[in-house]
Structure 1
Amino acid sequence: MENLGLLIEALEFIEQNLASPIRTESISEHLHCSKSTIEKLFKYVNNISIRDYIIRRRMSRASRELVKNPDRSLLDIGMEYGYGSNEAFTRAFQSVWQVSPSEFRKNPSEFELFPGYRIERELLEDKKMTDRKKVDISELYDCIKERKGCFLILGDIKGLIPINEISRKAGDLAIITSMKRMEQAAGPEDIVFRIGGDEFVILTDSTDEAYAKKLCGEIVSHNDECISWDGNEIPLTLYVKAVRYEGGSALRYSDFFTMLHSEISEEFKRKCYEGK
């Protein structure tokens, strides 16, 4: 699986150099492959160009800095990620988050809009590489392991692909809005994170099934409410499911992801659609 190896190396190189100038040429030179090879592979597997991926990762990192260091200037944060002026940084930030950096700082979101993709090296022998791509939530994993017996609230956007076909930025707005719905429902000790392009999780701090059902109900109550993009009113619906997390400290990182993805299966979505 030479191509998968190239992709792993590319993702690692990008993540290690987000605060440095990154060109596709520098990535291909690092990987000793052609520029067109890595561009096509990246687009095929990740459904996004290298350039757009880098911008979104940088703006996700920048959003953390805005919240973590409220006294740090916008120009200083922008320059860290390669932007030489407030205007250039603001344009890039707004293209991803749909708000300016200063507006975001006043009303921050706790989730990371575009976490880095993660592909385990142990999957090099796995031919279904596009089915095993996931995002990196390793920073949360210790917390996840400590919450054995607590409920997870799983959310999945219904029909993100058609929304992306209207505009990739409309898709980003759908993701932001979906995460905000999850955040608004979550309690103060709950953790909200994204596990895929259109999949999200609330890791609760509760073993109470009634509490889990309450969160699900609050999220579902917003289904079919519209987001507005460029004159389009787009209904936004989430499939939502509560599951009890029984993994404990011995659960492997990859097994945790497999469990989450299997819970929001196509069969589950079909039953939701049919109202069963």
Structure 2
Amino acid sequence: MNEQIQLMIDWIEANLKNKFSLDELSNYMGYSPYYCSFKFHQVTGISIRRYILLRRLYLSTEDLANNKKIIDIAFDYGYSSQEAYSRAFKNVFGINPKELQVNKLPVQSVVKLTINKNGEWYKMNISKKIEVEKLHRDRSEFDKDVLHILNGQVMYEEFKNNRLMGDSDYAPFNEAMCVHATSEQIFAKEFITIRAAGHHEPVEGYIKKVIAPLANLFNKEYECIVLWFGEDMFCQMNLLTILSYLEQSGYEGKIFLNSFREDEFKVNQTELTLGHYYSVYKEVMINHTKPTNELIPVMYQAINIYLEMLHDDNEVVKYISNNNDLSTKELIKRLFELFPTVGYGDLQYIELINKVR
């Protein structure tokens, strides 16, 4: 079955700029339209039409980056008008195509699906330091009075032990803010108590794991803070929490976001301005509602995924339910492959699988 789905994906990719016809795909495959549609969703966890929409819009961001005319891009990808393309684009990325083109903002990658990839392709290989070294050369001011906050202990140890950004300070954020409850005052006593309970940890253990490693953030003043977070939902919810804390604490220095894909360490650097992240944090992570402020696309996309994952019938849960005959190990492998924009780790997926079962 996986070979058949890969054939469907290959056909779709070869025809992304043509008007999609499920009948043509079914004729190519030799199966009924219903069978093609049902099996594609069962194996990949996404509908054919949704996959095509996201792939077209993502590929169009590359054309925008190359300053191609928006109206030409719209027609290239089968939209009836520039307005129709812009509406679809804003619905996915939270801003219109022109804003993205002018400001060069990061978006989540939607790469071609490849079923049953071999190896742990989804894990970032930080040992490939080319991108980091280039940033270091280009930003020599990042050596002094700078704190680099890394998403997780593994990344922190790699950066710190190899001094990838020179004589800067380094700190890990060892959290998974996309799961469990939180509080309005970030890193305060209530926050620690609630988060520790959610992770089934004693408060002392949570402080040692999460709070103590951030000591420099709490106790030192920096001219610049650089945030290294992936573009998936897991990382972006952690990023939102850190930015919200910086607003709460009245931080006035420069902030740079270095966002990257987990499977390909190519950094997109964006300077951020504080002002509304805490209100977004309260709307999204406390009240579980959509944000009212405009955000960088990669965070807007992540928030939509986060809110979707709060539902008991989200796409990941449906996929687990439809493939409940698989072992936990095989399920986790497939979930990593099929839902890279979610960004869950083993622990989060195991907890979700056990809940579904």
For the superposition of Structure 1 and Structure 2, which TM-score range results when normalised by the shorter chain? 0.5 to 0.7
Task: Tell me the CA shift for residue 159 of structure 1.
Answer: 5.0
The CA distance in 2 between the partners of 1:79 and 1:66, in whole Å, is 13
Q: 1:154 to 1:38 in 2, by over 3 A?
A: farther
1:11 aligns with 2:2: no
Match of 1:41 among 39, 46, 60: 39
Please list, as runs of the form range in 1=range in 2, the aligned pairs for 1:85-164 lying within 5 A after superposition: 85-120=81-116, 146-147=128-129, 150=158, 158-159=178-179
The CA distance in 1 between the partners of 2:50 and 2:346, in whole Å, is 29
Q: Partner residue of 2:229?
A: none
Q: Can you list the C-alpha shifts for 1:167-221, whole angstroms capped at 9, x where unaligned?
A: xxxxxxx949928948x99968x560156xxxxx8678xxxxxxxxxxxxxxxx9
Q: 1:154 to 1:110 in 2, by over 3 A?
A: farther
Task: Tell me the CA shift for residue 116 of structure 1.
Answer: 2.4
The CA distance in 2 between the partners of 1:176 and 1:87, in whole Å, is 32
Task: Tell me the CA shift for residue 157 of structure 1.
Answer: 6.9
1:233 aligns with 2:289: yes
Match of 1:78 among 74, 79, 88: 74
List alignment gaps of at least 5 residues for structure 1: 124-131, 161-173, 196-200, 205-220, 238-253, 271-276
Percent of matched pairs sharing the same residue: 20
Q: 1:20 to 1:181 in 2, by over 3 A?
A: farther
Q: Can you list the C-alpha shifts for 1:235-274, whole angstroms capped at 9, x where unaligned?
A: 968xxxxxxxxxxxxxxxx9xx79x99993217997xxxx
Q: Partner residue of 1:265?
A: 346
Q: Structure 2 length as normaliser, TM-score?
A: 0.42
The CA distance in 2 between the partners of 1:176 and 1:92, in whole Å, is 24
Q: How many positions carry a matched residue from both structures?
A: 195
The CA distance in 1 between the partners of 2:103 and 2:37, in whole Å, is 36
List alignment gaps of at least 5 residues for structure 2: 131-156, 160-171, 181-231, 244-254, 268-276, 292-302, 307-332, 352-357
Structure (1 or 2) with the larger CA radius of gyration:
2
Q: Structure 1 length as normaliser, TM-score?
A: 0.53
The CA distance in 1 between the partners of 2:50 and 2:233, in whole Å, is 16
Q: 1:25 to 1:122 in 2, by over 3 A?
A: farther
| 3-state SS in 2 of match to 1:146 | coil
Q: Can you list the C-alpha shifts for 1:102-127, whole angstroms capped at 9, x where unaligned?
A: 1222333334442222214779xxxx
Do 2:64 and 2:97's aligned partners in 1 also have CA atoms closer than 8 Å? yes
The CA distance in 1 between the partners of 2:234 and 2:103, in whole Å, is 13
The CA distance in 2 between the partners of 1:154 and 1:192, in whole Å, is 18
Q: Can you list the C-alpha shifts for 1:40-89, whole angstroms capped at 9, x where unaligned?
A: 1122222321111101110000111111x22x211101111111311111
| 3-state SS in 1 of match to 2:261 | strand
Q: Partner residue of 1:178?
A: 236
Note the aligned Cα RMSD (angstroms).
Answer: 4.9
Match of 1:25 among 19, 23, 26: 23
Match of 2:48 among 28, 45, 50: 50
Q: 1:269 to 1:45 in 2, by over 3 A?
A: closer
Q: 1:9 to 1:234 in 2, by over 3 A?
A: same
Q: 1:181 to 1:262 in 2, by over 3 A?
A: closer
The CA distance in 2 between the partners of 1:60 and 1:154, in whole Å, is 30
